[in-house]
A and B are shown apart, each in its own frame.
Chain A
Amino acid sequence: MSHPNTLLPVGTPAPDFTLRTTPDQTITLSELRGQPVALIFYPADWSPVCTDELAIFSQLQPEFERMNAQVLGISVDGVWCHTAFADARGVNFPLLADFEPKGAVARAFGVYRDQEGTSARASFVIDTDGVIAWNELSPVGINPGAGGVLQALEALAGARAAEKAG
């Protein structure tokens, strides 16, 4: 039994997962090693707050590409729902279906809400070694925007640049 609002803390290796993103494609987190990943948990496709949130991430794709970062949206909705939603709203990054077993990945990251049957609205930035570098939990009705994720990815990019230089 997982408790809501007990986010996996910074410094924890991100639990690996393989999830469908379209009816015939899957994404495995560990295969993205070497690339920073922003994992955006949201409660549901189609709800207005989520839509605005994902619209901002879509607009920011050029910045994320510049930092070689992969953004992934994730909710308990199924692949067909994700596909229709992404087409309708112009979401230009993968949406993962945490659908079967329902919410398993949300539970693993400590953001599943049992009563609602959805994940909380929470974001994680995972570094190139697969370790959680940043996290944020937002009130469900509040759209957190993308400022925190962008800043965390920039901090990681800065640290990588400093490592290279040193």
Chain B
Amino acid sequence: MSRSYNPPTLTVPVGPDDWTEGPPDAPVTFVEYGDFECPHCGAMEPVLKELRRLAGPGMRFVFRHFPLTSSHPFAEVAAEAAGAQGAFWPMHDALLANQDALALPDLVDRAAALGLNARQVADDLTAHVYEPNVRDDFMSGVRSSVSGTPTFFISGGRYDGDYALDSLVRAVQKAGRAAR
């Protein structure tokens, strides 16, 4: 028999290698597969910020890389390099807020502006140190049938609703009730 289409679920659970924000025991885990170069991800970021603020400790936020716009992206590895210096989220925010400046020198400047060891970030980027991390995220997304960015999973189930804040808040609340 032919199989029909089933909405996908998150096949690689959130683990210690993930970039997470919020309590590890939060009732709801919200995973974004995103691409720093994707304009939709940039446009979505203020909405997700507000969602995180409203959900408070009731939600853990996770970001995984799913670079589609460029096959050898620097922005993703720059975030990983910043993460190695304890600044993944500040770099994540800076990249999404400045999507028109993601060339190598821009990224190094950004690292310096965040007070990081910019030299180290530059070395990490040219040596491709963190590309395997980005690839792992990408492959985990492929296995969960992520097909574009941004794609969201709420408590392991893919979110197929619209991108309005209200809709996202309702979906997170529903997942929170189900977790009780």
Contacts and interface: CB of A to CB of B under 8 A. Distances in A.
Nearest to B143: A147
Which size bracket describes the interface of A in this complex? 20 to 34
Interface in A1-52: 7, 9-10, 52
Nearest to A48: B148
Interface stretch (A53-61, A96-104, A155-163): A53-61
Interface stretch (A65-73, A76-84, A130-138): A130-138
Contacts of A147: 8, 11, 142-146
Interface string B117-150: 0000000000000000000001100111111100
Which of A59, A135, A144 lies at the interface centre, i.e. has the most chain B CB atoms within 10 A of its CB? A59
Interface string A137-155: 1110011111110110000
B177 interface: no
Nearest to A121: B5
Which size bracket describes the interface of B in this complex? 10 to 19
A117 interface: no
Contact of A138 (B5, B11, B143): B5
Interface of B: 1-5, 8, 11, 67-68, 71, 138-139, 142-148
Given A56-B142, A59-B71, A145-B142, A135 B147 contact: no
Contacts of B148: 52, 143
Which of B11, B142, B146 lies at the interface centre, i.e. has the most chain A CB atoms within 10 A of its CB? B142
A150 B147 contact: no
